[in-house]
Amino acid sequence: MTELTLAQVAAAAGTTPATVRRWVKAGLVPQYPGAPAPWSGRAAAHVRIIARLRERGHSLEEIREASDSGRLAFGFVEELFPHHDRRYTIAEAAELTGLEPALIERFYATIGLGDASLAALDDEDLALLRDSVAVLEAGFPFVAFMQLARVYGQALAQMADASVRLVHLYVHEPLMRDGVDAVEMAEQMSELTRQVLPLAAPVMQRLHARFLQHFVEQDVVGHMELDVDSSAELGRLRVAIAFADLAGYTRMTEELGDAEAAGVVERFLERVETSLPDSARVIKTIGDEVMVVGNDVAALTTWAVDFQAAEVQRPLPRMGVHYGDVVYRDGDYYGREVNQAARVVARAAAGEVLVTGAVADAVGSALRFEPIGAVKLKGFSETTDLLVATSVPGT
């Protein structure tokens, strides 16, 4: 367990030792047994939060009540991470890693770590920067590296955020409702997290390897079936894009309430994710809408038709599928064709799969396409041929 001095605790919180002593005397730090005992990482973390709360205008009495109720019982996490006394400036980190200071700043902004992280670089940061240097020196293109850094940063930030919020919702809040003492609460959460957190890294590593294997295979297959255009701009791909959402979702939230409606969306997204063909994946979800991209337009469109045929629970989904050239950047897909696919789904009815002429031409006779005419989609000056896709009778 990390042991700290009062001076170190005060410095990390941006306050003075005398102020920290007053907080302890006032009973604001239940994790600290009192002088002359050394400070644990748990208690030091509590002091930092008190300092932040004071900066935001909270009174000592408000903070005391929060501490007593266990609302601030989070310091258990602090003891699970390495403590580094050594801190580096950006200039020092640049000299030690061989990176330009401006590049370090750009890298941290890209992965989503702000100025506070740059103001307190430690040995872990240096290791991260040195690993990044090794990737670039191995020949990985800088433009691709920065895009990958952004994707990793966003994905890992979402994972970390979910971990904290789920522990709060399903562990921390139930303990508070049961009236568990603040110190006992911190100890229970510490024990749970101590057992679970070390598993996070190996789980992520194994999942990453599994997904890498899957997408390498998909990429190889895609290259075999793709006519490479040597004149095409780097970063452009020809893919099938599908958007799906729940018709009448807004009305459903009013009738059922937000929590029940969220459950309906969760089950819908789970059915989408578990039924997709290997050549497609979910790119993002926004509320009840999901965006799917695939290399095989026939497989994705057939999936959409089969998915709709199996849906019986209301509100029924509606789907729009388009096929065209897109820009791939930062793990996402951009461009006119993506916008067009999003407009197509907006014209679809509940339980319907609406596709563009490009999809029908690429899929051919594997499915049945019923033209509904040339439609002017919002934001597009020219009309778009739309068709309703259904399975071929007898198949």
Which parts of the chain have pLDDT scores under 50?
1, 224-228, 230
Residue 74 has what pLDDT? 63
How many whole angstroms separate alpha carbon 200 and alpha carbon 337? 38
Q: Kindly state the tokens that stand for 133.
A: 């240097």
pLDDT tens across 90-144, in order?
999 999 999 999 999 999 998 988 777 888 788 999 999 999 999 999 999 998 9
pTM attached to this predicted model: 0.64
CATH tag for 226-390 (out of 3.40.50.460, 1.20.1090.10, 3.30.70.1230, 3.90.1150.10): 3.30.70.1230
- State which amino acid sits at residue 168: H
Residues found in the chain: 395
Asked if 133 and 140 touch (Cβ cutoff 8 Å), the reply is no
Q: Show contacts of 67-70: CB within 8 Å, 24+ apart.
A: 67/27, 67/28, 67/29, 67/30, 67/182, 68/30, 68/182, 69/176, 69/182, 70/172, 70/175, 70/176, 70/180, 70/181, 70/182, 70/185, 70/186
- State which amino acid sits at residue 50: I
How many whole angstroms separate alpha carbon 279 and alpha carbon 127? 36
CA distances 361 to 174, 236, 268, 344, Å, are 56, 21, 29, 16
How many whole angstroms separate alpha carbon 264 and alpha carbon 271? 11
How many whole angstroms separate alpha carbon 376 and alpha carbon 343? 10
Residue 233 has what pLDDT? 65
Residue 70 has what pLDDT? 73
Q: Where in the chain is the domain with CATH 3.30.70.1230?
A: 226-390
Residue 227 has what pLDDT? 47
The DSSP bridge pattern shows strands 384-390 and 368-375 to be antiparallel
How many whole angstroms separate alpha carbon 348 and alpha carbon 128? 47
Residue 225 has what pLDDT? 47
Residue 73 has what pLDDT? 66
Q: Kindly state the tokens that stand for 12.
A: 């990390």
Q: Kindly state the tokens that stand for 3.
A: 């042991």
